[in-house]
Amino acid sequence: MFTGIITAVGDVVAVERRNGLIRLTVESPYDPAGVAIGASICHDGCCLTVVETASVKGGMRHVVEVAPESLALTTLGNLCEGGKINLERALRAGDELGGHIVSGHVDGIGRVAEVRADGEGWRVSIDAPEALAPLIAPKGSIAIDGVSLTVNEVKGARFGVLLIPHTWNVTTLNRLKPGDAVNLEADMLARYVSRILSARAH
């Protein structure tokens, strides 16, 4: 489990395609002594397992493998060497829950419709997949590329969020532009309520 509070922006240093999957090598300021093989780290909203680690100056380098299903359902297949990626270590018992509960299981890919300045912040509008739209509600929570955000407005399948300067500066969301694809994970409560209502309807 995660909280949607990004703890580092990693540098993608290698992308290797092998037997239908992708091996991503990422450098970050994390302490390698605290990241075990098999640990879970959220990468742009997608929970992945660390399979290799190494110390580097100023932090660590780790490797994760992205399976075909994850490649089909997320934007991770678009990553290139030299890219940036939002990272979050798994939630530990006793940690502060600053955002909302994020599973690291991406529900769908959204498309950025608009990015515009609004005072000191930035408003971002995103078109969600039709199937995901019913799970997105005003004042509800959503994870965009792993970042926990509050939904400000919803119109059909399009919704908007407001990024404060801190979030804009410490995540990769400051690189977004119209047409970009983003990983979306709906609030877990909305997901289960939808499932219950669907089951009752049948």
- Kindly state whether residues 124 and 183 are assigned to the same domain: yes
Q: What is the CATH number of the domain that holds 77?
A: 2.40.30.20
| Confidence label for 99 from pLDDT (cuts 50, 70 and 90) | confident
In a domain, 174, yes or no: yes
In a domain, 95, yes or no: no
> For residue 94, is pLDDT > 70?
no
DSSP output for the chain: -B-S---EEEEEEEEEEETTEEEEEEEES--GGG--TT-EEEETTEEEEEEEEEEETTEEEEEEEE-HHHHHHSSGGG--TT-EEEEEEPP-TT----S--B-S---EEEEEEEEEEETTEEEEEEEPPTTTGGG--TT-EEEETTEEEEEEEEETTEEEEEE-HHHHHHSGGGG--TT-EEEEEE-HHHHHHHHHHHHHH-
- Kindly state whether residues 60 and 17 are assigned to the same domain: yes
- Kindly state whether residues 67 and 16 are assigned to the same domain: yes
Domain containing residue 128: 108-201
- Kindly state whether residues 79 and 116 are assigned to the same domain: no
pLDDT digits (tens, 9 = 90+) for 169-191: 999 999 999 999 999 999 877 66
pLDDT digits (tens, 9 = 90+) for 116-133: 999 999 999 999 999 999
> For residue 196, is pLDDT > 70?
no
| Confidence label for 98 from pLDDT (cuts 50, 70 and 90) | confident
